[in-house]
Structure 1
């Protein structure tokens, strides 16, 4: 047995007579029981095993063995729930499990159905879509995304180690063959750690032997609210190294998209499997709150709050960032405008810090103001810079984008002689030191072009 965590076992109809009290005496505190396979098989020992484990005090749950080329993920999820795969937040029920692994019927034909190769004859994209179909249906039926049980080698081979599954807790199977506390590699595309490790199929516990990667209290919280052990560990470690947060003022809580958070006197810590744990505090946190926290357009933080030598603050998020200076306040940076600003060197580039949030006009055009200009975007023109200077001043005098010139279609161009120009939907502006800035539009422009 590994020397950390909480021991558990998983069983199926192959273990018809489990001595549950003996398993408890050996240290097992949780159990998973096979409920179904495909949409054609149920474990006739399920009820006795499920109740027997609970009778001795174990937290128990059900698992479904997937045959993805047999029927859809949604179909098998419904079959699973109808045959024992439910969940309730009673603290004694583990979340349902999708057993997704090597094809046990590889290259076999049974009753006229060919089961395919080890990947079930399906592409990585097809298998990934199948998992999401199963997971989304389980969430709608039970309120929980399932745990994914898999083997790292098979997952990487057949699904291509994809990203985007970090909100599904991971149960990894790996048999080291000698006493060890190392489960080996996990599928790094979606996970940095596992919640459960199946370390043996030959004992010491009945069926397969497992360990929960955390404390018993964390296991109970996982059963009750879906909080992975990795979240507890990351939040605890970050809080210990961040005394400025003060004391905890809330329990560790589960949030949208598999995220986890804990509140403190001076901020909070947010964690997801893909972003890790990050602090949210101060003026940046206030601006994020105004956007709807993690449920808003920015998503979860991907960095801690950073403070530049000039006192400016910023924080990265899944879908953008927030920037603050004493003169500009806190501003959101997101989407196509952010991409164009990045191409200019972010806040160190010629535009400086944002002075407004991204604004969307009724026609779908977007813009954002900066210390030294602005960026404008439309579907037709793309993102174009309008830096402070004589060209921008002349455009302003024409009524900006609502004037006769419309939106910029190029950035400001500087000729070898120092002259500047910028194209617009309905003309252009030209400037030289001797002539000043002037609009070029309409039939006069056409003649000049000729």
Structure 2
């Protein structure tokens, strides 16, 4: 690739402003770092043949003059300039080469800076080898499972830039790639003219850029490439080749001191040869070369005869930036371990033994990786994986059950590690697998679903898949009113809240609860299980604000509020009313409500309260037209224990009295007032023996001891027997 000329600074004054300061006179005596490279560090750098296609050949005399040693004050000034430029996302691997490919200048962003760029062919051409991705905050939330499905087996995640920027998405990106089964490492985007190499290396390692020999962590990666910030100088950061080599050496030495491992260097051939003066001082470092094409990594930077990673495109699937490891996966795993032998472990032996007995898994697609939560290890296979811990042993997960486990977060999720093998032969040809904190069950009809915690305990109480609920048909879902959760099963549901516990609803009772609006309705959540074996073979279930009762004769009906309390006063289903025979209905006169029961009804209004009517008194009230008739609503309960074993019930505009001898009859208006004056049933008239009858402006009512007659002119008169 023939690179364009460097972007020149708009004015010589900006260069001067970055280099000016109170210590300018001492600049020559104040090197950037203590180490000054010799001939071995920049071999050929001072005397190398000038390449007319290189960045160095494009530098003006003014720009070369600007390549003086930076003072501490000048570096601080650059820090301030960087802070205003870096923004929320900073730079990323290959940003300069992308800009060169689209705008011809590494410091000029394309018009649509977020659009994918690069020169890779369409249809996602790939070289041979092992593939991986690199991401930064520009990608934000990454679909790691999709990247894994596209073939990514490793990832590099940006951790830091300079000494003032940390990728806000580093933890979920780094952890997400690991959870998807990838090897992963961290990279640092260098801004060499704002702080020393040691300072930036320490900042990097302190914020996620370290390395441990755990078989899954790739070496720290130094991204040193085209300067993306015009205010900080030219593409070589206004640094001489000697300064640049010294800075990289300072960074590398610090990484080695702290991690014991050489960092890998990400760069382009063009930038490296120009900005380090063709230095061969880092040929012992692993190389991550950037060159977007379909034919190969091309000519490598000075000193290197091979590469470890090749970033070959920025427009690959899922995340854009894709990289190639040119050898095998096992070789990449050895590279992650710094080519040391994997530490022997009990997990490796157990996994190997189980794999030999589990042919369904297919061939291994990764090595044994340890260091998981709880000291666990795993190995991936063509059709599943094996996970091991010292407490759970080694167990394989496959197919739909494995997919569901993955959806819960594998061993880091609520289920934890598998504690046994997948076992089939259950009812309906079902299968299940136990985990540390739950189980996954599967059938062809229901799919695979996990059960955990209190909901699982409630399901167990019903007999698991053999019980009335059957298999789970969906995942546990939370976020309901009051912080509730639920899970559907083949023939019902279990709901849970911290205050009510977990309870199943089934059959007719569940259907009735659904009709009230489930937990959002008047009943609220169930507070206990369905209980059967009450009178007439009935069942009931309590809820936060009521209950539902069921019998084969009546069906299932809810009782709530004042009507329920009135029913309780009668003795519930064992009392005079029996079971509810219909729902509460609230369309009556005066805003009233009623509910029918096997042997009566309860009526309610805000003015009268809730009262039951039963038997002969209720039939007499019906004869007057119920609440629409002259009596209106009942205002009290039926009360017995009167003279001769009588009973009565008061209403808004009268009362009904009953005895076995007289039957039930209402008294109202003027006749009732006159009867009251005689002492009601205790007086000479005794109980009414018939209803009030009226004709031709004359009303009469017979009593045990006489008759009361009313006319408009005479009022009420008594005729005793």
When the two structures are superposed, what TM-score results if normalisation uses the length of structure 2? 0.32
Report 1 or 2 for greater relative contact order, CA contacts < 8 Å, sequence distance ≥ 6: 1
Please tell me whether Structure 1 or Structure 2 has the larger radius of gyration of its CA atoms. 2
When the two structures are superposed, what TM-score results if normalisation uses the length of structure 1? 0.50
